[in-house]
Amino acid sequence: MKMRDSISKKQECKLFPNQRIIGRWHRHPYRIVRELGYGATGTVYLAESESGPVALKIARDSMSITSEVNVMRHFSKVQGPSLGPCFYDVDDYLTKDAVFPFYVMEYIQGESFLPFIRDRGAEWMGVLVVQLLNELYRLHQIGWVFGDLKPENLLVADSPYRVRWLDVGGMTRHGRSIKEYTEFFDRGYWGLGSRKAEPGYDLFSVSMLMINCAYPARFEKNGTPGIGHLMGKVRQKQLLAPYEAVILNGFQGKYQSALAMRTEMLNIIQDNSFNRKNKMNRAGSAKVATNRRAYRKNVTTAKEKHRWTGVYETMLIGTFLLILYILYLFGQ
């Protein structure tokens, strides 16, 4: 469990903007720009290297850094371009008091997961979750579970918009105990399963991730763990209504793989897009019919009739292009 109070006590190496550090062994220089985030195993900073911006993670515990570096090196041999940040360097930072291990990885520029959905619309939740499930399926296929899956460990990069994950500290081999977790996304906290690393653990977290989109401040179990409490929260939010069955199945561990959950999510999104298109078609047809009646009754000009037809056609073209773009994202 990662809580700010306990974490702050472990942050024994605090770096500051414009501070310059040099690796003890490789002698690569890095200039600290700002803090990006913190976790149970260390703090991540945006830094400038000789080749451009990077993300630098530093900690007191060399074992945790070594474990994460091994994970990243493993992924570097098999991952696609969106599976996670690329690994660059590992070294020690020597001060007069201690030695602090750190590693350097790709700095992924983008927007935080929850603010992205809040600013661009609820339909993006489904799109990003489908992308995430595709990446989780690939991760599970090579024998790993993400573990500490939450919005803070996700970023939405652009060109095109794509969900990326940032922190590999919680990634765990299949069959082992989850290394790191956050209570809200942990099925053990809700009394709905163990903390054994398996695909179902991540899929439970995906369901909680969707709930977090509707409840950004999160909530506690308050002595009432279980599906009933969680599904009651789901039914209170319109954003979650189309995905109620998917969320429930994620809680109950009914999906055999992330790919199965992705398929059901994709079907729901496509059905909703089709229904919206039909609704727009009916609305557009009704508006055209109304305009025609008004034309006969009021002898409106041909110019006005052409204007309404243009609006109708523009709406249809815009909807069609949006659906094509979403389907393109799914296929990546």
Please, which residues have CB within 8 angstroms of residue 305's CB and are 6 or more apart in sequence?
A: 291, 292, 295
Task: Please indicate if the annotation marks 221 as binding a ligand.
Answer: no
Q: What pLDDT score does 326 carry?
A: 61
Q: Are 48 and 104 in contact (CB under 8 A)?
A: no
- 131, burial (CB in 10 Å: exposed 0-12, middle 13-18, buried 19+): buried
**Tokens in use for 263?**
């398929």
Say whether 91 is catalytic: no
- Looking at residue 83, what is its pLDDT? 66
Does pTM top 0.75 for this prediction? yes
Helix (H) or strand (E) run with residue 159 in it: none
Lowest-confidence range among 129-138, 156-165, 206-215, 271-280? 271-280
Residue pLDDT, tens place only, 268-298: 999 886 555 555 555 555 554 555 565 455 5
Nearest 5°: the CA angle 122, 147, 101 is 115
Distance in angstroms (rounded) separating the CA atoms of residues 59 and 123: 38
Q: What pLDDT does residue 193 have? A: 96
pLDDT given for residue 152 in this prediction? 93
Q: Percentage of the chain with pLDDT > 90?
A: 61
Chain segment 71-95, per-residue pLDDT in tens: 888 877 665 555 678 899 999 999 9
Rounded mean pLDDT, 313-330: 53
Mean pLDDT of the chain: 84
DSSP 3-35: -HHHHHHH------TT-EEE-TTT--EEEEEEE
* Distances from the Cα of 187 to the Cα of 22, 149, 226, 312, angstroms: 42, 12, 9, 48
pLDDT digits (tens, 9 = 90+) for 21-34: 999 999 999 999 99
Looking at residue 309, its pLDDT comes to: 43
Least-confidence region, from 128-137, 212-221, 287-296, 304-313: 304-313
Instruction: For residue 251, count other CB atoms closer than 10 A to its CB.
Output: 23
CB 250 within 8 A of CB 203: yes
pLDDT reported for residue 19: 97
Architecture of domain 111-263: Orthogonal Bundle (1.10)
Mean pLDDT computed over 209-215: 98
Residue type at 321? L
Cis peptide before 160 (omega within 30 of 0): yes
Superfamily of domain 4-106: Phosphorylase Kinase; domain 1 (3.30.200.20)
How far is residue 143's CA from residue 256's CA, in Å, rounded to a whole number? 15
Closest CA to 46 of 114, 108, 88, 110: 108
pLDDT in tens, 219-235: 999 887 789 999 999 99
Q: What is the mean pLDDT of residues 301-322?
A: 48
Which of 148, 167, 186, 202 does the annotation list as catalytic? 148
